[in-house]
Amino acid sequence: MTKKEKVEFVVTKLEELYPTTPIPLDHKNPYTLLIAVLLSAQCTDVRVNKITPILFKKADNPYDMIKLSVEEIKEIIRPCGLSPMKSKGIYGLSHILIDKHNGSVPQSFESLEELPAVGHKTASVVMAQAFGFPAFPVDTHIHRLMHRWALTSGKNVVQTEKDAKRLFDEAMWNKLHLQIIFFGREHCPARSHNATSCPICSEIGRRELFS
């Protein structure tokens, strides 16, 4: 099975399984999405979605967020983990958005990645899902599955992202990265993965066996 054939099969199967791709983090604007993605680092989306309504009831914009103290933010987001770093990041980036961007989330990778606690993956999600800019955010699910499907040999998410962007058409990046995440969670987990029952791994293995 050639790499091109794998790519075509993966795209077809994911579209069949996940024709629609709702954003898994609850939000109502670019700012709340930015905060939710920041909170999702080393935390499940389910837990983030339980915490953000509490936080956003007090502050769903940078102007209200800076009225809270770092300690108040930390107490609210504590269940998401890494609360000392995340609370400082939320408070700090809210100030910067007001001071440098008129209270709005900037629409560029460079400006987003200058914000405290915002890395390339977080910036990519915001650019893709808030602004529709072509991006391919790579998380642990995507990194794992790209390796399992032999679509990358990258040692880190940076190389995996480069390979994904090279293999898949740009027009499908924003939807495809969510489809892969959904698939990884439902069918292709890190542990107790059964390749013979996995809708993609089983077929790739079968085709390679008889090719």
100 noted as active-site residue: no
Catalytic-labelled residue, pool 139, 162, 169, 175: 139
Q: Is 37 helix (H, G, I), strand (E, B) or coil?
A: helix
Calpha distance 17→22 (Å, rounded): 13
pLDDT tens for each residue of 3-18: 999 999 999 999 999 9
pLDDT in tens, 17-71: 999 999 999 999 999 999 999 999 999 999 999 999 999 999 999 999 999 999 9
Do 153 and 81 reside in the same domain of the chain? no
The answer to whether residue 162 is catalytic is: no
Global pTM reads 0.92
48 and 102 share a domain? yes
**Max CA separation in the chain (angstroms):** 64
Tens of pLDDT, residues 65-116:
999 999 999 999 999 999 999 999 999 999 999 999 999 999 999 999 999 9
* Domain carrying residue 143: 3-21+136-209
The answer to whether residues 154 and 98 belong to one domain is no
Q: What is the CATH number of the domain that holds 187?
A: 1.10.1670.10
Residue 211: pLDDT band with limits 50, 70, 90: very low
Which is catalytic among the residues 28, 121, 155, 175? 121
Number of domains forming the structure of the chain: 2
